Amino acid sequence: MQEQSRYAVGVDVGTTMVRCVVGHIDSTTGVPTVVGVGTAPSSGMRKGSVVNLQGPAKAIDEALGEAERMSGYELDDATISINGSHILSTKADGMIAVGSADHAIDEEDLARVEEVATVGKVPANREVLQVIPHSFRLDGQDGIKDPVGMTGTRLEIVANVVSALVPNLSNLRKAAESATVKPNQVVPAVLASARAVLNESQLESGVAVIDLGGSTTSVAVFEEGDLQYVGVVPMGGVNVTNDLAICLKTDPEVAETVKLKHASAVPRKNSQGVSVKKDGEVLSFSTKEIDEVVEARLEEIFEAVEKELQKAGRAGQLPSGVVLTGGGAQMKSIAEFAKDNLGLAVKIGKPTGFGGVAEKVDQPEFSTAVGLMLIDSDGARGDSDSSKKAVKSSGSIMKSTSSKLKEILDKFKA
């Protein structure tokens, strides 16, 4: 195979699936064209964290191998995703003296002030993923977005410092390295998804990205071009599948098929019979039963999402509304359900506008992998700005099942 000279690679290490996207970087525009895609079912992950190295390592290796065969290129490094409520973001500030009054601020000055902002503010058991500047202040002038080239003697920064637990990061890196891929960057999954599905107008006016994953639902709020808030709800599509398995008295494999083919986020007025084949047997279910279970769990998830928006101070107050993405965004009527429960305009976000084999990644479940590839392409072009659109996680934990969901579960257990 050829070497990976002008290629960008994103690897989304999810709880249930690993997805890899390879982009060829145009030498003139720097815009990637999708040339390789690989997927593999994953195991050994729980709520975004590695609990068994062999499972994700095997899945990463398989997904990379498929992408290599499609692209014809040997993939040695990549930007990979991390997820889970252990990801935290804290507001930080720092100040440095930069020399004489005619000194022009340069990238070295930015690196220094960012380092000062993090010193002593991240515990020893955490590693800084990114420092995301919100604004700079130069000799008393506030609200500066990019001070490079400006002159002054005193540079201050207000930023979000995104960090993750060292053991979680270490295990993720070990899994990747076991698959012979070196992580260039480790990026929170919701950041990557936002990069793939949001436009500048949405970022400026105010928008929330809700990434409906397998075992987590992440919320990121943007306004005035900057990230304002991130929260992680430790529930996702797997919870819906497990509820269906319990209530329909079937196994998770059948429940997953029922969810993907027959579930609706908004209950249907008329109940119908649906069937699923397994091992030569035809299993029958009613849409009324399915809808009751799905609605109960989705209500719990979106109640938690609403609380995250309230923490951000943006509940019902986002001009560009909500963009749903991730695998869960494919459920029938999910946009209508989200609109009714959040009181905001809702769109489904998926990666678009790419050449090559773009049709293989134009679904919501590929948003994170495509976003990672785009961030990786920034690094390949030496674009340091890729770190500026990071996430902030509230680390919220759901400790109990809602009373309505318990009623539904008890009803079907009887």
Nearest to 295 by CA among 247, 357, 351, 252: 247
Predicted pLDDT of residue 382: 43
Instruction: Provide the H-helix boundaries in 73-133.
Output: 107-118
DSSP 8-state secondary structure symbol assigned to residue 198: -
Q: Which of 44-58, 72-86, 384-398, 400-414 has the lowest mean pLDDT?
A: 384-398
The answer to whether residues 286 and 271 touch, using CB atoms and an 8 Å cutoff, is yes
pTM of the model: 0.87
CA–CA separation, 78 vs 390, rounded Å? 18
* DSSP secondary structure, 382-408, as one string: T-GGGGGS----------S--HHHHHH
Tokens for 167, please give them: 């053991």
DSSP 8-state secondary structure symbol assigned to residue 201: H
* DSSP secondary structure, 254-270, as one string: HHHHHHHHH-BSSPPSS
Predicted pLDDT of residue 403: 53
Per-residue pLDDT of 145-187, as tens digits, reads: 999 999 999 999 998 888 899 999 999 999 999 998 999 999 9
Per-residue pLDDT of 267-305, as tens digits, reads: 999 999 999 998 888 999 999 999 999 999 999 999 999
The domains found in the chain, sorted by start residue, are 7-85+166-196+358-383 (3.30.420.40), 88-163 (3.30.1490.110), 197-349+384-414 (3.30.420.40)
CA–CA separation, 123 vs 126, rounded Å? 6
Residue 262 in this model has a pLDDT that exceeds 50: yes
Residue 400 in this model has a pLDDT that exceeds 50: no
Which span out of 84-93, 116-125, 170-179 was modeled with the highest average pLDDT? 170-179
CA–CA separation, 378 vs 32, rounded Å? 10
